């Protein structure tokens, strides 16, 4: 019986192992970093940093590489281990992400924090840091969150509607300049043809979605799925009856909210109320 061949030369460190796999796959493809960036639509320098182990990149970038190299799930699995977070991108969330990429429209409700699709880097960094992240892990998560914003870019971007509890807008960042930048970004996003932002005012009173964020994804064949999440877990809901019941509650909340035009005016008023930076 032939002796089993030992596999040597591969790092046991998760981050380095991920970087090595990226280098091996690109070498096998015969592409330069610049050519790879052109093929996938990302700055080629990002791939260079990933191959050096300087950054892990976002899950969206890794999924694109998995698809391009024909290694479905392999790179994302290595990414998860390297990120040291075995729960955030577990099977249910990977399923959600794949459905999100297919969606023709998205609806959302936010209880206390802006959705990642509308966050600026400064907002994401302060919110994630408040949750206990720091150092490299913090920067990786900020980068991953910024990568998701590309979903709303381009001619084929899905329609996106979010209803924000007024509490979301009344919870300002500690950094005044970053908070001003975030409000300005909201105004800019509200002007896009595929984005609608509504605010549920305090004056609306009690409502049925007061404890969790909710996402609804309308898929190409008309089916709708929902994803609910809080600070500790997320659940993908695909049962039609359960989704329809949740959507009925969402519709009531949306009807209580200000119109997109009124909501934009509210954000503009809040911008005017932001204290001036005395250092300027």
pLDDT in tens for each of the 280 residues of the chain? 333 333 345 556 788 888 999 999 999 999 999 999 888 888 888 898 889 887 888 777 888 898 889 887 788 888 877 776 444 445 666 778 788 888 999 999 999 999 999 999 999 999 989 888 888 888 888 888 888 888 898 888 999 999 999 999 999 999 999 999 999 999 999 999 999 999 999 999 988 887 789 999 999 988 999 998 866 667 888 899 999 999 999 999 999 999 999 999 999 999 999 887 655 5
Same domain, 109 and 236: yes
What backbone torsions phi and psi does residue 227 show, to the nearest 5 degrees? -135, 120
Residue by residue, DSSP assigns 42-92 as: S-HHHHHHHHHTS----HHHHHHHHHHHT-TTHHHHHHHHHHT-TTTT-HH
- Residue 73: per-residue pLDDT: 78
Place of tokens 């460190």: 13
Look at residue 11 in the predicted model and tell me its pLDDT: 55
Residue ranges of the alpha helices (H) in 135-191? Answer: 135-148, 166-170, 176-190
Q: Are residues 97 and 204 in the same domain?
A: yes
pLDDT for the residue numbered 5 = 32
Q: 37 and 69: one domain? A: yes
CATH number at residue 65: 1.10.260.40
244 and 160 in a single domain? The answer is yes
Q: Tell me: do 169 and 221 sit in the same domain.
A: yes
> Is 259 within the bounds of a domain?
yes
* Boundary-marking domain end, from 84, 102, 129: 84
Residue 145 is assigned to a structural domain of this protein:
no
Total count of domains within the chain:
2
How many CA within 13 A on the CB side of residue 181? 13
**Which pLDDT belongs to residue 79?**
84
List the domain range (segments joined by +) for residue 220.
88-117+151-273
Q: What is the pLDDT of residue 84?
A: 64
Contact 61, 147 (CB under 8 A): yes
Please indicate, yes or no, if residue 132 is contained in any of the structural domains: no
Q: Which DSSP helix (H) or strand (E) runs through 152?
A: none
CATH number for the domain harbouring residue 250 = 3.30.870.10
Under a CB-based contact definition with an 8 Å cutoff, are residues 15 and 56 in contact?
Answer: yes
Question: Is the overall model pTM greater than 0.75, yes or no?
Answer: no
* Same domain for 203 and 252: yes
**Quick one: the chain helix, strand, coil %, rounded to 5?**
55, 10, 35
Instruction: Tell me, yes or no, whether 134 lies in a domain.
Output: no
Tell me: do 41 and 101 sit in the same domain. Answer: no
- DSSP helix/strand/coil, 241: helix
State both tokens at 264.
């934009």
- Are residues 64 and 101 both part of a single domain? no
Looking at the structure, tell me whether residues 163 and 224 fall in a common domain: yes
Both 77 and 195 in one domain: the answer is: no
- Give the whole-angstrom CA distance, residue 36 versus residue 101: 21
Q: Is residue 44 within 8 Å of residue 72, measured between CB atoms? A: no
Q: What span, in angstroms and rounded, lies between the C-alpha atoms of 84 and 90?
A: 12
């Amino acid at each position: 019986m032939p002796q089993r061949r030992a596999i040597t030369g591969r790092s046991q460190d998760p981050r380095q192992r991920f970087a090595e796999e990226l280098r091996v796959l690109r070498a096998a493809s015969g592409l330069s970093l610049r050519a790879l960036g052109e093929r996938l639509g990302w700055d080629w320098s990002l791939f260079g940093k990933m191959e050096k182990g300087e950054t892990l990149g976002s899950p969206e970038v890794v999924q694109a590489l998995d698809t391009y190299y024909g290694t479905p799930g392999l790179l994302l699995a290595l990414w998860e281990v390297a990120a040291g977070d075995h729960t955030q991108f577990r099977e249910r969330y990977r399923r959600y992400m794949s459905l999100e990429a297919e969606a023709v429209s998205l609806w959302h409700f936010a209880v206390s924090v802006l959705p990642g699709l509308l966050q600026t880097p400064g907002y994401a960094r302060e919110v994630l840091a408040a949750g206990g992240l720091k150092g490299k892990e913090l920067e990786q998560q900020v980068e991953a969150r910024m990568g998701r914003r590309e979903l709303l870019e381009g001619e084929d971007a899905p329609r996106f509607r979010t209803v924000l509890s007024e509490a979301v807008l009344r919870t300002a960042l500690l950094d005044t300049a970053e908070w001003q930048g975030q409000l300005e970004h909201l105004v800019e996003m509200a002007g896009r043809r595929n984005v609608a932002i509504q605010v549920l005012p305090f004056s609306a009173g009690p409502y049925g979605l007061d404890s969790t964020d909710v996402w609804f994804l309308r898929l190409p064949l008309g089916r709708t799925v929902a994803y609910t999440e809080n600070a500790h877990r997320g659940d993908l809901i695909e049962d039609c009856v359960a989704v329809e019941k949740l959507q009925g509650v969402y519709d009531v909340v949306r009807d209580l909210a200000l119109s997109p035009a009124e909501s934009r005016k509210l954000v503009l008023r809040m911008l005017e109320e932001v204290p001036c930076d005395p250092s300027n």
